[in-house]
Every structure is written in C-alpha cells, then in structure tokens.
C-alpha cells in the first residue's frame, strides 16, 4: 500500500531521555535546524509535552510502543501525529506519520532497513570471528616459534659462556707463555746490547767503516728487541692483573726534567729540539716514579720518532682542579681521525710511519694507558693531519681526586 503525501512522516534516533541524536527520515521534520541538545519534547505542542514524556517512559520500560497520538508543531502549525518506537542498541528509534496507515508503512520500511543492517552486522561479526580464529592460530604459531627461538638463544648463551671460560683459560696460558718467553729472552738480548755498545765505543778505532755499520745495526736491533721484550713482560703482567704500583709522594717537576734531558740525546740525532716550559710550583703527588718515567719516556720517544728533522717537541706541566696535566706536543705528521681509537690498544698500528725508519711493536701506548689509569688519571690525544699531535695525561694530586674508570681514553 502506497501512502499518500500526507502520510509522509519522520524518524529520529534518540537517547533514552528523548535527546535527538540523528534525523533518519524527515519529510515533515521542522524546517529550522535543530539546536544541539534538542529533545523530542521541543518539537511538541505544549499540551502534548507531558504525554510525550509518558510515551518515552513506556518505550524505555517495554522496549516498544505503537500508535501513540501526539500533537507536534510542523511549519508553525500544530498537527496530530501517530508515534511508534522501539529500543535499538541502547537508543530509541522513534517514527511518526499523520495517519496510522502511514505510520505502519513507515515503521515497516524502517524495520526492513533495520533487518538489513542486522543481517549485515551478523555477517560482519561472523567474518570478524573467523579472522579472530585465524589470528589466534597465527598467535599460537608465533608463540611456538618464539619459544623455540628463546630455547635456542638460551642454549647459545650457555655455549658462549662455556667458550668464554675456555678462552679465559687460554688467555691466561698465553700471558704465562709470553711472560716466560720474554723473561728468558731479556737476559741474552741484554748481553748482545752490552757487547755491541762495547764494540761501538772501545773497538771503534780498529774497525773499518763497514764493520762499524754492522755494530751499529746490531746495537739498534738489540735495543729494539729488548724494548719489545720489556713491553711484552709489562703487557703480560697488566693483562694478568699484576700491575703493581708503588705510589709514594714525589715531585713531578724534576722527574719530567730528567726524562726531557735523556730524550734530548735521542732527539739530537734527528736535529729535533725538546723544549720544556717553565715548571710551576706543585705539591708532591702520590705516584710510582719508575712507572711514570716509563710513560714520559714512551711519549717523548714517540714524539721524536714521528717528528720531522729540524722540528720541535714541547713539554708542558700544569695543575688545576686537583689534577696535574702533562702535555707532549710535536710538530709531526698528525693523525687521521680514524686512527685515534686504535692508539691505546695493544699491538695496534696506525697509518702514519715514523720519519726515521724507527720500529715499534705497538705496545707502548697501551702500557701508558694502563699505568695512568692505575694511578686514577686518564690519557688522550689531540691531533689533526699535518698539524702535529699532543698527547696529554692527568694524575690526581691526592687519592680522593682519582678519575672514574669510565673516563674516556681518547678524544678526537
């Protein structure tokens, strides 16, 4: 049955208190837009407001109401309307038409739409449940895979711990062997060096030029090997945790002056000047004098080794904030940034070569680092290619000022 024009009506989706949430159909709806928060009572003629509240109460209580006659205002005119409604998903679906037949048809149309929406919703829920089951299955498989991988990781960690223990034992054996070998080599190398020095000084007059060159070569090689053996002994002791420091209060100034004086002899062979800046007055500090002389000798000999003939090496001592700082600056080749992290590691070699063909085992700076850190200080280098290098180390004036173990070893 088709409705006549006057049967046309409207449909609202409302909250339980009658607040209009959505206009679903509105052939007879007010021409003026509804203000926010408007209720269905706002559309009614004043005499029908109370009855409208009763309609809402019955609808909320019974979840359905049909063929209530209420008078509303349409285009400024009062018009009797037939109302029906039903509860839908916590909201109220309210329809109205001028006649009962129009109301029934409008209600049937909305119910048809509602059925279609319900069927679509059921289909969507069914699909969602299917997807959820698939997701659950995938999650179960993923959990199984993760459990398996976790077990494999645990097994690898146990194997790694076992290998680390084996490596630790092998490392101890290696250090013990290096220590024994270096100790056994040091004595005969010392004898060779002593005889070479004797021949160079006492027998020079009876040797020809070629023989003197042979003696000089023997002396240089034996000196290098003796230094390398001594460094190996030091590294073996350090890695075995046997670095022993006899720290006694000492004046660092005279100690530096003595090492500068000794290294000037080596530097003079390459016509390199070693300059010492005026030494400030500093209090005695606790240090192992022999180990600090080893540090100074290494830094000064390195500066000479990598400096050009005719250049200058400068040594500076200063004190501030509870620490003394020693700086050894050369005018040599400088270091590329990529080489800086290698400097203080055992057996590391940089891309820069010595200017006079001097040899190095790559252990000196690693020993320097361990000695300085053992004193509670730190060591680092500042260098740029073509602009020379400055090696610096600090020592605490007292034990309370010792640097933390996390202090950086190098800074670019």
Nearest to 354 by CA among 330, 323, 320: 330
Nearest to 256 by CA among 323, 313, 315, 314: 315
What is the model's pLDDT at position 5? 40
**Distance of CA 310 to CAs 196, 277, 304, Å?**
29, 19, 11
Helix (H) or strand (E) holding 42: none
Q: Is 58 a domain residue?
A: yes
What is the model's pLDDT at position 381? 92
Q: How far apart are CA 353 and CA 362, in angstroms?
A: 12
Q: Is 363 a domain residue?
A: yes
Q: Is 131 a domain residue?
A: no
Nearest to 25 by CA among 102, 127, 100: 102
Tell me the mean pLDDT in the region 131-148: 78
- Whether the pLDDT of residue 235 is over 70: the answer is no
- Whether the pLDDT of residue 349 is over 60: the answer is yes
Q: Is 170 a domain residue?
A: no
CATH of the domain at 47: 3.30.450.20
Please tell me the total count of domains within the chain: 2
Which range, 68-72, 198-202, 340-344, is most confident?
Answer: 68-72
How many CB atoms are located within 10 Å of the residue 56 CB? 21
CATH of the domain at 388: 3.30.565.10
Asked which of 83, 98, 113 is the last residue of a domain, the reply is 98
Model confidence over 56-65: pLDDT tens digits?
999 888 888 8
CA 366 to chain centre: 26
Give the domain range for residue 272. Answer: 247-401
The pLDDT > 90 percentage for the chain reads 18
Tell me the mean pLDDT in the region 362-378: 86
Q: What 3-state DSSP class applies to 326?
A: strand
What is the model's pLDDT at position 325? 94
**pLDDT tier at 115 (50, 70, 90 boundaries)?**
low
């Amino acid at each position: 049955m088709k409705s006549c024009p006057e049967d046309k009506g409207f449909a609202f989706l409302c909250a339980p208190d009658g607040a209009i949430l959505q206009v679903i159909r509105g052939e007879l709806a007010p021409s003026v837009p509804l203000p926010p928060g408007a209720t269905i009572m706002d559309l009614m003629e004043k005499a029908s407001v109370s009855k409208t509240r009763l309609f809402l109460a019955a609808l909320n209580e019974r979840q359905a109401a049909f063929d209530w006659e209420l008078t509303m205002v349409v285009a400024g005119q009062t018009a009797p309307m037939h109302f029906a409604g039903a509860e839908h998903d916590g909201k109220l679906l309210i329809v109205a038409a001028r006649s009962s037949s129009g109301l029934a048809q409008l209600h049937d149309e909305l119910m048809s739409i509602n059925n279609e929406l319900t069927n679509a919703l059921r289909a969507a829920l069914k699909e969602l449940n299917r997807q959820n089951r698939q997701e659950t299955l995938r999650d179960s498989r993923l959990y199984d895979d993760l459990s398996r991988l976790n077990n494999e990781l645990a097994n690898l960690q146990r194997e790694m711990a076992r290998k680390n223990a084996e490596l630790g034992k092998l490392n101890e054996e290696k250090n013990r062997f290096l220590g024994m070998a270096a100790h056994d080599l040091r004595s005969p190398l010392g004898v060779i060096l002593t005889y070479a020095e004797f021949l160079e000084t006492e027998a020079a007059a009876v040797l020809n030029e070629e023989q003197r060159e042979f003696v000089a070569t023997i002396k240089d090689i034996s000196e290098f090997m003796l230094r390398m053996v001594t460094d190996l002994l030091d590294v073996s002791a350090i890695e075995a945790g046997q670095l022993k420091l006899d720290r006694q209060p000492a004046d660092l100034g005279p100690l530096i002056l003595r090492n500068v004086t000794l290294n000037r002899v080596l530097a003079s062979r390459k016509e390199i000047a070693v300059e010492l800046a005026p030494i400030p007055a500093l209090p005695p500090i606790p240090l192992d004098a022999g180990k600090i002389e080893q540090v100074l000798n290494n830094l000064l000999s390195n500066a000479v080794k990598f400096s050009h003939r005719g250049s200058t090496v400068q040594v500076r001592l200063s004190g501030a904030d509870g620490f003394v700082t020693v700086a050894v600056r050369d005018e040599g080749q400088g270091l590329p940034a990529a080489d800086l992290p290698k400097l203080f590691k055992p057996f590391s070699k940089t891309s820069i070569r010595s200017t006079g063909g001097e040899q190095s085992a790559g252990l000196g700076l690693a020993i320097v680092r361990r000695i300085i850190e053992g004193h509670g200080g730190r060591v680092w280098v500042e260098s740029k290619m073509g602009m020379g290098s400055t090696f610096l180390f600090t020592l605490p004036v007292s034990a309370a000022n010792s640097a933390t173990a996390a202090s950086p070893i190098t800074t670019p």
